[in-house]
């Protein structure tokens, strides 16, 4: 939430300091996972950050204390199947398909088995899945089409890739390109048998998630989620009820905004314990425009609001204006996972 970002950014800026040579790396904190060190300036930076902020993908802990996403590394068949199953919260269905190289004690067993039972993935042979093989771009296209066939319209004109001939993958590549789910490596080539990088896989999945139109939320539900979150949390903080503020943070926020909210609430709690006053309010005839909504994700643009913040006797006013991003979670509730509303914290983070 914006007000909590103003306060939480002070601590956050310290957590982003890279250890120098000879220093022991600090333990990775929850907020650190939202700042992978290797995606700034990447061609897929926007989509990668969005997937990280929304908790669709998580970075790696490196020995030096940094978190990375390794966007240019290739991704395995098991990794992409797991990513897809988790992003869509898929449950087993249909007839189970077993593979001799997918064992119950392997980390990907549940996800690969679920995807196979739904007909989303197939084996490389009748009996093997080859989970550790690096996934090809045409294999991703086929998995996406099968996974999203009930929620995405595949109407449109397929791109005429000169390197996609009449073979098993062509119908899937045609459908995915017609929907806008995938793009070529160039205007004329898809490179179907190239091994996909993590960035390419996440970009394609991101596109698919922002094409689902079978059951988007109402404008009112999305607007109220954001407005209620801000107003109720501000009231709890002003009352000094930090347990309630933490509960509201979990109720209304997820991903990046929840992690940063936790940091800020802890900081405000410490300030209050020292006897300092805290008052926060939101004024103005706030305008909320729905700029995009899909089955699992939504984007708003909020404006015409002003935060009035008084902490430890110091007063500040912050303008509320900018995009807000929401995600529908497993319990059916919409939650805010990131906002870029021009706050002090936004400028520090960027």
pLDDT (tens digit, 9 = 90+) per residue, 132-147? 999 999 999 999 999 9
Residues above pLDDT 70, as percent of the chain: 89
Cα–Cα separations (whole angstroms), residue 205 to 2, 12, 104, 212, 276: 28, 29, 26, 11, 47
Mean pLDDT of the chain, nearest integer:
90
Which residues face 281 on adjacent strands?
308
- Pure H helices in 239-342: 242-252, 255-273
CATH number (domain holding residue 259): 3.10.450
Place of tokens 């404008």: 219
Q: What angle do CA 91, 92, 94 make, to 5 degrees?
A: 130
Would you say residue 129 lies in a domain? Answer: no
Question: What pTM was computed for the model?
Answer: 0.90
Task: State CA 325 to chain mean position distance.
Answer: 10
DSSP string, 67-87: EE--TTSB-BHHHHHHHHHHH
Would you say residue 25 lies in a domain? Answer: no
Would you say residue 261 lies in a domain? Answer: yes
Q: What is the mean pLDDT of residues 269-274?
A: 91
Residue 28: CB atoms within 10 Å: 15
- DSSP annotation of 31 reads G
pLDDT at position 80 over 70: yes
Residue 349 is predicted with a pLDDT of 37
Contact 271, 278 (CB under 8 A): yes
Would you say residue 211 lies in a domain? Answer: no
Reported as a pLDDT band with limits 50, 70 and 90, residue 5 is low
267 phi/psi in degrees, rounded to 5: -65, -45
Would you say residue 202 lies in a domain? Answer: no
Q: Which of 66-70, 159-163, 277-281 has the lowest mean pLDDT?
A: 277-281
Structure tokens that stand for 116 in this block: 């196979």
Contact 298, 188 (CB under 8 A): no
DSSP string, 204-231: HHHHHHTT--SSPPPHHHHHHHHHHHHH
Structure tokens that stand for 117 in this block: 């039972």
pLDDT at position 105 over 60: yes
Would you say residue 227 lies in a domain? Answer: yes
End-to-end CA distance of the chain: 16
Nearest to 96 by CA among 123, 77, 122, 116: 116
Reported as a pLDDT band with limits 50, 70 and 90, residue 312 is confident
Domains of the chain: total:
1
Would you say residue 79 lies in a domain? Answer: no
Domain enclosing residue 290, as ranges: 219-349
Residue 7 is predicted with a pLDDT of 52
Residue 65 is predicted with a pLDDT of 86
Q: Which of 18-27, 199-208, 253-262, 277-286 has the lowest mean pLDDT?
A: 18-27
Task: State CA 340 to chain mean position distance.
Answer: 15
pLDDT at position 343 over 60: no
Dmax over CA atoms of the chain, in Å, equals: 73
Tens digit of each residue's pLDDT (9 = 90 or more) over 191-243: 999 999 999 999 999 999 999 999 999 999 999 999 999 999 999 999 999 99
pLDDT at position 172 over 70: yes
Would you say residue 143 lies in a domain? Answer: no
Q: How many CA atoms lie within 13 A of 160 on its CB side?
A: 0
């Amino acid at each position: 939430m914006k007000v909590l970002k103003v306060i939480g950014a002070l601590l956050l800026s310290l957590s982003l300091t890279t250890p120098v040579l000879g220093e022991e790396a600090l333990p990775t904190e929850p907020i650190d996972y939202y700042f992978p060190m290797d995606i700034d300036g990447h061609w897929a930076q926007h989509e990668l950050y969005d997937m990280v902020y929304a908790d669709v993908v998580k970075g790696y802990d490196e020995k030096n204390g940094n978190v990375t996403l390794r966007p240019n590394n290739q991704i395995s068949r098991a990794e992409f199947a797991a990513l897809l199953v988790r992003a869509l919260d898929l449950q087993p269905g249909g007839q189970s398909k077993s593979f001799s190289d997918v064992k119950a004690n392997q980390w990907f067993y549940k996800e690969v088995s679920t995807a196979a039972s739904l007909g989303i993935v197939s084996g490389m042979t009748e009996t093997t899945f080859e989970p550790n093989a690096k996934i090809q771009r045409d294999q991703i296209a086929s998995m996406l089409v099968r996974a999203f066939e009930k929620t995405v319209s595949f109407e449109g004109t397929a791109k005429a890739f000169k390197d996609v001939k009449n073979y098993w993958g062509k119908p899937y590549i045609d459908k995915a390109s017609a929907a806008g789910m995938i793009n070529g490596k160039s205007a004329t080539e898809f490179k179907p048998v190239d091994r996909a990088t993590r960035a390419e896989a996440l970009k394609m999945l991101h596109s698919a998630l922002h094409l689902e139109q079978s059951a988007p939320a109402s404008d009112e539900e999305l607007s109220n989620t954001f407005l209620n979150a801000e107003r109720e949390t501000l009231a709890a903080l002003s009352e000094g009820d930090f347990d309630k503020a933490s509960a509201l943070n979990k109720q209304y926020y997820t991903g990046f905004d929840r992690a940063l909210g936790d940091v800020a609430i802890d900081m405000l709690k410490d300030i209050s314990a020292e006897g300092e006053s805290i008052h926060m309010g939101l004024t103005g005839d706030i305008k909320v425009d729905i700029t995009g909504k899909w089955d699992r994700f939504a984007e708003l643009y909020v404006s015409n609001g002003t935060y009035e913040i008084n902490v430890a006797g110091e007063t500040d006013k912050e303008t509320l204006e900018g995009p807000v991003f929401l995600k529908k979670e497993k319990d059916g509730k919409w939650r805010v996972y990131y906002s870029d509303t021009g706050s002090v914290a936004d400028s520090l983070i960027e």
